[in-house]
Amino acid sequence: MAYKIPISVLVVIHTPDLQVLLIERADRPGFWQSVTGSKDTEDEALELTAVREVREETGLDATRYRLLNWHKHNQFEIFSHWSGRFAPGTTHNQEHVFSLELPAPLPVTLAPREHTQYLWLPWQEAAEKCFSWTNVEAIRELPKRVLENSVLSHIYR
């Protein structure tokens, strides 16, 4: 078994009116989250990891929409029930935050071994439903990030 690389992405998928896509973990019913996943190789670019994970977990092609690297990362302790996926002695993961803006809530095709169902929720409700503090924090930061990106896009047109 190849060990997971403890460098991952968190991709908050949302609409312009801040509806957020959440997916429920198959291995932990009741654990709702945004798209997450680890690099496949040490040299895989984070943007490619984000695009790959979005495709694998939702069937969506992130290259067709606005994918933003927030240039923000979180360091967190790996839950003990997932520690066996990592090399012995690996206790922490570095997670890099992205957002993906879709024009409207779209249907997704879940990877059945990873997720059981999905929901589109207003950002406040989505933040309340997530189990991960890093996911909650990213969703709560989403309105500010969307506004900043909108202003910058307008200035540089």
Note whether 57 and 110 are within 8 A (CB). Answer: yes
pTM: 0.90
Q: Are strands 32-33 and 19-25 parallel, antiparallel or unpaired?
A: antiparallel
Q: In this predicted structure, what is the pLDDT of residue 58?
A: 98
pLDDT single digits (tens) 13-30: 999 999 999 999 998 999
Residue 43 within any structural domain of the chain: yes
Least confident segment among 3-12, 38-47, 79-88, 105-114? 79-88
CATH code of the domain containing 73: 3.90.79.10
Question: What does the alpha-carbon distance between residue 24 and residue 19 come to, in Å, rounded to a whole number?
Answer: 16
Tell me, yes or no, whether 1 lies in a domain: no
What is the tens place of the pLDDT at every residue in 61-106? 999 999 999 999 998 877 777 677 766 876 777 799 999 999 999 9
Please count the structural domains in the chain: 1
Query: Which residue range forms the structural domain that includes residue 87?
Result: 7-155
Let me know: does 49 contact 9? Beta carbons within 8 Å. yes
Q: What is the pLDDT of residue 26?
A: 94
